[in-house]
Amino acid sequence: MNWPFILPEIIIAVSAVIIILADLAKPNRWLSSVLALAGITAAAVFTFAGDYSQPASVFNGMLTIDGWSQFLRLLLLAVSLGVLAVSIEYYRKLEYTWAEFHALSLFALAGMMLMSSAADLVSAFIAIEITAISFFVMVGMLKDARSSEASLKMMLIGGIASAIMLYGMALVFGSTAGTRLNEISLAIGGMSNPSAGLLLGMLLLLAGLLFEAAAVPFHMWAPDAYEGAPTPITLYLSAASKIAGIAIIARVFTTAFSQPQNLSADWGVVAAVISALTMTLGNILALSQTNIKRLLAYSGIAHTGYMLIGISVIGLSQGSAGQANLLFYMAAFALAELSVFSMVIVITRYLKTDEISGFAGLSRRSPRMFALLCVGLFSLTGLPPTAGFMAKLFIFTGAVNHGLLWLIIIAVLNTVISAYYYLKIIKVMWMDEPAGSGEIRPGTPAGMVAFISAAGIILLGIAPYMLLKLAEGSLLSLP
């Protein structure tokens, strides 16, 4: 069965169960945190030390462990480690569900790691549901009106998306007589023309997967979920869940629907159109936001649009190009989100408000936090010398090389629009009068996460080819 190849997922799942059992025996705040962080660290060590020079099939082909999944596993583990570290600042609001928060975070992580390795429609669906159900519960953990409403909306829309996706999977199975992604590819390759049922199944499958990434028109849940959820969960949704959603779209469509060339090009064009709509709507709606979490929700939707440019390049090139650029973009986006949200968690907890106006004068009350927050915002905007600038440069260049100049024109215009609302936050922090007096200091965990993330952003902005070459090397083991 090659079970050692999924040892990281096993470690994460077992750690979650141990946290629950330990809390039942004797609740202890620090024990839950230590067990969760130790589980993630151990999983990262086994992932990093694993040999993925050749793809390994697990559970009779249900999962494929390769360089792609290893890169994404490490990225998801790093984001999860950062989320749990900064969540210590949020303890008082989650005091009575502290163990449950950590256990569910680990279950969601296990689901997202399985999403990156899914090689079968059934395993993909199971991994998505493990992740989604965990997030449904975590979003409602504050148990107030906003949090409960956000959780309910996310659950209802997520249920509809799952039904659409499952129906799409059924149509694909009916057309190809297989659920394994490589079997589907072989069956399609033997067809003279794809059937209407197969095309409809692909469309419905894509619709269900786009929900996970919060792409237009399946983005409606994101702003309410981001605003109502505990802020560490907002960070988790924005970074890790989005990365996993984009990753499984790339995995499923690259493996199962890359042949024949016209079919791959067709879904590549569909992804390009959805990309244009997603980035445009996300940025336009972000302009009018006054709540920092809702603004970052729409910002995240816009970045989903940029990542879908990478998906469209993969489709137009039949999977031969664009994957390394997409992995680099995911890493740069994750670093920016960690840098921004780790500071937002501290500031909103201290000021007891999520409104952008509450950030007034932060440059004078906490110059260090202001600087770290600016680095993250500059990277999200795509300004040099940050990782976000290089990520957009790589992904835009790849798109132009594959005939998507029209899409890049739209993307550049959207980048200009996004600069307005990102710089608006910086203007409030730099020029407006402080709303109160006294210095705001981040706790050690949040400060460390923000500093490491900001350093990574600058390092990858100056020397991006270190990570890009690593991403390209991880793809050498793909089948």
Give the pLDDT confidence score for residue 319 in this predicted structure: 67
Give the pLDDT confidence score for residue 171 in this predicted structure: 94
Domain holding 447, by residue range, is 288-479
Q: Is residue 215 part of a domain?
A: no
Give the pLDDT confidence score for residue 365 in this predicted structure: 81
Q: Is residue 434 part of a domain?
A: yes
Written as tens digits, the pLDDT of the chain (479 aa) is 567 788 899 999 999 999 999 988 887 778 888 899 999 999 999 888 777 667 778 888 888 888 888 899 999 999 999 999 888 877 777 777 888 889 999 999 999 999 999 989 999 999 999 999 999 998 988 888 888 888 888 888 888 999 999 999 999 999 888 889 989 988 888 777 878 889 999 999 999 999 888 888 888 888 888 888 888 898 898 889 899 999 999 999 988 888 777 788 888 899 999 999 999 999 999 998 888 989 998 999 999 999 999 999 988 887 667 788 999 999 999 999 999 998 888 888 887 788 888 888 888 888 888 899 999 999 999 998 999 999 999 999 999 998 899 999 999 999 999 999 999 999 988 877 776 666 777 777 888 998 999 999 999 999 998 888 888 877 754 44
Q: Is residue 408 part of a domain?
A: yes
Give the pLDDT confidence score for residue 414 in this predicted structure: 94
Q: Is residue 51 part of a domain?
A: no
CA dihedral 357, 361, 362, 366 (to 10 degrees): -160
Q: Is residue 21 part of a domain?
A: no
Q: Is residue 80 part of a domain?
A: no
Q: How many domains does the chain have?
A: 1
Q: Is residue 163 part of a domain?
A: no
The letter for the amino acid at 339 is S
Give the pLDDT confidence score for residue 429 in this predicted structure: 87
Q: Is residue 389 part of a domain?
A: yes
Q: Tell me if the pTM is above 0.95.
A: no
Give the pLDDT confidence score for residue 39 in this predicted structure: 93
